[in-house]
Amino acid sequence: MNFSVVIDPGHGGVDSGAIGNDIVEKDMTLAISKIMYDEFKRMGIPVYMTREEDITLSPKDRVTKAMNFFGKDKNVILISNHINAGGGEGAEVIYSLRNDSKLSNEILDNLSSSGAKIRKSYQKSLSTNPNKDYYFILRDTNPLESIIVEYGFLDNTNDAIRLKNNYQDYALDVVEAVLDYKGIQVGDEYVVKSGDTLYGIAKKYNTNVKTLMDINGLTSTNLKVNQVLKISGDFYTVKPGDTLYGIAKKFNTSVNKIKDMNNLSSDLLTVGQKLKIPNQVIHKVKVGDTLYSIAKTYNVSVDDIKKTNKLTSNLISVNQELLIPFK
Ligand SMILES: [Zn+2]
């Protein structure tokens, strides 16, 4: 990897951050950060957190940790997670004076597709010195590529509801934006490069050779350069109230099959846990998608998608999760 990531869960310990509408900033920033951490790990991206539990960090502690773990390098992306308060609505990203807005805007785009209301990305300098960032976590972490992500205003009723419902998706949105920004391919397709093996690709996407062969209809493990492979790199993220039985039913599969694929020894699930689902992928509907375009993308029929998802019309809505059946 040509980059690494430091995640900074804002506040902590005696510093709770903002509180309102049953949200405590320090707790939500930690929850979001942990999801990000796990996802970067899963993708093989070097990642570090400035705190992993509810502890107090001084600004100096935070900066020292962020600057020392991977070194003072502009290829270290520092993401400081915060929840806003003070009378506003929507997500915003603040980026340092030494960087441009590209990553920040990708993050906002992704958050928007998960239902967040968007304010803006911006830079802010000290009133006493226009060449210095206003926020210490940006100012004192040169040359890192440092950003502050504010996911919404916890004192705004609409934002608070969205934060509580969507914070897990928001965390994954930021990871996806970073991967896109750094050109890491995580989409539903992979173009075979010289030297690739099915085993290597399966490993990279946390799947297995058999699954790749099944969903691509391959009869041998030989690959051709520029061959396009479908990747079932999508996972189901366990939500509160989920059971293995319910998930198996939802995906037209069996509890045992899910347990096998995920090496589960018990039926216990934890919220946020990611499960591989057999031979199917989940497509999250994006703006502009139609059943026809989705069917074409995955080389299946519109009818198959409708049947699998028990759709009675061709109407789909943004963020709806569709199960894509592979033969
Ligand atoms: Zn904060």
Of 146, 181, 216, at which residue does a domain stop? 181
| Ligand 1 centre distance from Cα of residue 106 (Å) | 21
Q: Which of the listed residues 118, 151, 181 is the one where a domain comes to its end?
A: 181
What was the pLDDT predicted at 312? 92
**151 shares its domain with 250:** no
Q: Which CATH number goes with the domain that contains 281? A: 3.10.350.10
Domain boundary among 165, 181, 197: 181
Please tell me the distance from the alpha carbon of residue 46 to that of residue 71, in angstroms, as a whole number: 12
Q: List, for residues 204-260, the tens digit of each pLDDT value.
A: 776 678 777 876 778 888 999 988 887 754 467 788 888 999 888 777 678 988 888
Same domain? For 39 and 162 the reply is yes
Distance 68 CA to ligand 1 centre (A): 22
Q: Cα dist. 123→9, 68, 82, 235, 254 in Å?
A: 20, 24, 16, 35, 51
On whether both 242 and 261 belong to a single domain, the answer is: yes
Q: Are residues 38 and 144 in the same domain?
A: yes
| Cα 12 to middle of ligand 1, angstroms | 10
User: From ligand 1's centre to the CA of 236, what distance in Å?
Assistant: 30
Determine the distance separating the centroid of ligand 1 and the alpha carbon of 40, expressed in angstroms.
Answer: 23
Q: Name every residue whose Cβ is closer than 8 Å to that of residue 140 and which is 6 or more positions away in sequence.
A: 59, 63
Say how many Å lie between the CA of residue 27 and the centre of ligand 1. 11
**What pLDDT score was predicted for residue 279?**
56
Listed residue (274, 103, 289) closest to 183, CA to CA? 103
Two structure tokens written together for 2: 């040509």
H helices within 182-207, ranges in order? Answer: 198-204
The pLDDT > 90 percentage for the chain reads: 56
Q: Are residues 91 and 153 in the same domain?
A: yes
Residues 116, 25 within the same domain: yes
CA–centroid distance, 51 to ligand 1, in Å, is 14
17 CA → ligand 1 middle, Å: 5
- The residues near 201 (Cβ < 8 Å, ≥ 6 apart) are 190, 192, 212, 229, 231
Mark whether 223 and 241 lie in a shared domain: no
How high does pLDDT run on average in the chain? 88
Span from the CA of 131 to the centroid of ligand 1 (angstroms): 23
Here the CATH number for the domain that contains residue 91 is: 3.40.630.40
Number of domains in the chain: 4
Please enumerate, as own/partner, the contacts of 176-185 that have beta carbons within 8 Å and a separation of 24 or more: 176/110, 177/103, 177/106, 177/107, 177/109, 177/110, 178/5, 178/40, 178/45, 178/77, 178/79, 178/103, 179/43, 179/45, 180/106, 181/102, 181/103, 181/106, 182/2, 182/3, 184/43, 184/45
Residue 240: which region, alpha, beta or left (left: phi > 0; alpha: psi -120 to 50)? beta
Please tell me the distance between residue 80's alpha carbon and the centre of ligand 1 in angstroms: 9
Q: CA torsion, points 227, 228, 229, 235, in degrees to nearest 10?
A: 150
- Confidence grade of residue 295 (pLDDT, cut at 50, 70, 90): confident
Rounded Cα distance between 235 and 72, Å, is 34
Q: Is 39 helix (H, G, I), strand (E, B) or coil?
A: helix
Q: How far is the CA of 11 from the centre of ligand 1 (A)?
A: 6
243/213 same-domain check: no
How many angstroms does the Cα of residue 39 sit away from the middle of ligand 1?
23
Please tell me the distance between residue 10's alpha carbon and the centre of ligand 1 in angstroms: 5
Tell me which amino acid residue 165 is: N
Q: How far is it, in rounded angstroms, from Cα 252 to Cα 307? A: 11
Same structural domain for residues 242 and 291?
A: no
pLDDT at residue 46, rounded to an integer? 82
Between the CA of 86 and the centroid of ligand 1 the distance, in Å, is 11
CA of 50 to the centre of ligand 1 (A): 15
Contact 93, 150 (CB under 8 A): yes
How far is ligand 1, taken at its centre, from the CA of residue 122, in Å? Answer: 16
Range of the domain at 223: 189-230
Q: How far apart are CA 320 and CA 118, in angstroms?
A: 20
Instruction: Quote the ligand 1 centre to 307 CA distance (angstroms).
Output: 46
pLDDT tens digit sequence for 100-150: 999 999 999 999 999 999 999 999 999 999 999 999 999 999 999 999 999
How far apart are the two ends of the chain, measured CA to CA in Å? 34
Distance 229 CA to ligand 1 centre (A): 42
Question: Could you tell me the distance, in angstroms and rounded to a whole number, from the CA of residue 25 to the centre of ligand 1?
Answer: 7
User: Over the stretch 152-208, which tens digit does the pLDDT of each residue have?
Assistant: 999 999 999 999 999 999 999 999 999 888 766 554 578 898 999 988 888 777 667
Angstrom CA distances, 24 to 30, 42, 51, 127, 305, stand at 10, 28, 16, 30, 41
Distance (angstroms) between ligand 1 centre and the Cα of 309 equals: 40
Do 49 and 173 share a domain, yes or no? Answer: yes
**Distance set, CA 284 to CA 129, 187, 203, 314 (Å):** 45, 12, 23, 15
Same domain, 116 and 170: yes
Residue 40's alpha-carbon distances to 48, 49, 64, 236, in angstroms, are 10, 11, 22, 16
122, 167: one domain: yes
Q: Torsions phi, psi of 163, nearest 5?
A: -60, -45
